[in-house]
Amino acid sequence: MSWAGPEDVYLSTSLASYLDKKLLVLLRDGRKLLGTLRSFDQFANAVLEGACDRVIVGDLYCDIPLGLYVIRGENVVLIGELDVEKEELPPHMTRVSTAEIKRVSFTFAQKAEREASDLKGTMKKRMDFLDMD
Amino acid sequence: MLFFSYFKDLVGREVTVELKNDLAIRGTLHSVDQYLNIKLENTRVVDQDKYPHMLSVRNCFIRGSVVRYVQLPSDGVDVELLHDATRREARGS
């Protein structure tokens, strides 16, 4: 194994190669931000210019513009370089307005909540035989 | 430092990184750092249909703190060497 020497402590997987590029930043809360990287530091804090939040619900998506964003590194999951020669999204996906995506995501969230509580209900029923009460 | 050294030796190999948000990305290990941040090249997402936003991403930087697993080729592990290194590291601390 190539042992880490004292100078290797300063080695870092640098984000410098991503500067001024259009990137996809995935955040811990599931948000997908797109924008141009203008600055970063050792904590993966980042400055994104012209940032937008790509909201995807099923086959619909919407890019909500955000402007200049400073992202705290602890929230960053992944920073991906977008290949300009490739399509950013599959062709079957449709772009909709902000109002439409908000409406759809509300219905989607309601449905997800209902499914979660249904699942909880069926699991409880299965545990009933234990007669723990 | 042990895993940093270990990953440095694996640079150039094909790995699959599974993240805490369940996203799994296969790619060539480009670089690693002391925080075990990982840079992958030539990436493909496992279960691409579930993650349409990742379609055009070919290179990425992954923050070390969000990694759950790094899946390696079975010949990527020299167990003897790792054992020796671990014993040495344990003795040192």
User: Residues A94-127: pLDDT tens digits?
Assistant: 999 999 999 998 898 899 899 999 988 888 888 8
Please tell me the distance in Å from A127's CA to the nearest CA on chain B. 28
* Cβ-based burial of A101 (10 A; exposed 0-12, middle 13-18, buried ≥19): buried
Cα A78 to Cα A23, A57, A87, B18: the distances in Å are: 10, 20, 19, 12
Cβ of B85 and A1 within 8 Å?
Answer: yes
Measured between beta carbons, the chain B residues lying within 8 angstroms of A8 are 4, 34
The residue among B1, B42, B41, B45 whose CA lies nearest residue B19 is: B45
* Residues A72 and A45: beta-carbon distance below 8 Å: yes
Helix-then-strand count for chain A, H and E: 1, 6
Cβ of A13 and B33 within 8 Å?
Answer: yes
Interface probe for A, chosen from B63, B65, B67, B83 (most Cβ of A below 10 Å), is: B63
- Tens-digit pLDDT profile for residues B57-93: 999 999 999 999 999 988 878 889 889 999 998 988 6
List the A46-57 sheet strands across, edge first: A94-95, A60-71, A46-57, A32-40, A22-27, A76-82, B57-62, B38-45, B24-32, B14-19, B67-71
Measured between beta carbons, the chain A residues lying within 8 angstroms of B9 are 1-2
Cβ of A80 and B5 within 8 Å?
Answer: no
Please tell me the distance in Å from A81's CA to the nearest CA on chain B. 5
Residue showing tokens 């069926």: A122
Confidence of residue B12 (pLDDT cuts 50, 70, 90): very high
Chain A contact for B66, CB < 8 A?
A: yes
- Whole-prediction pTM value? 0.85
Structure tokens at B41: 């090249």
Cβ of B38 and A30 within 8 Å?
Answer: no
In three-state secondary structure terms, B31 is strand
Within 8 A by CB and 6+ apart from B85, the residues are A1, B2, B5, B6
In three-state secondary structure terms, B73 is coil
- pLDDT (0 to 100) of residue B93: 65
Cβ of A88 and B55 within 8 Å?
Answer: yes
State which residue of chain B sits closest to A90, comparing Cα positions: B52
| ipTM score | 0.90
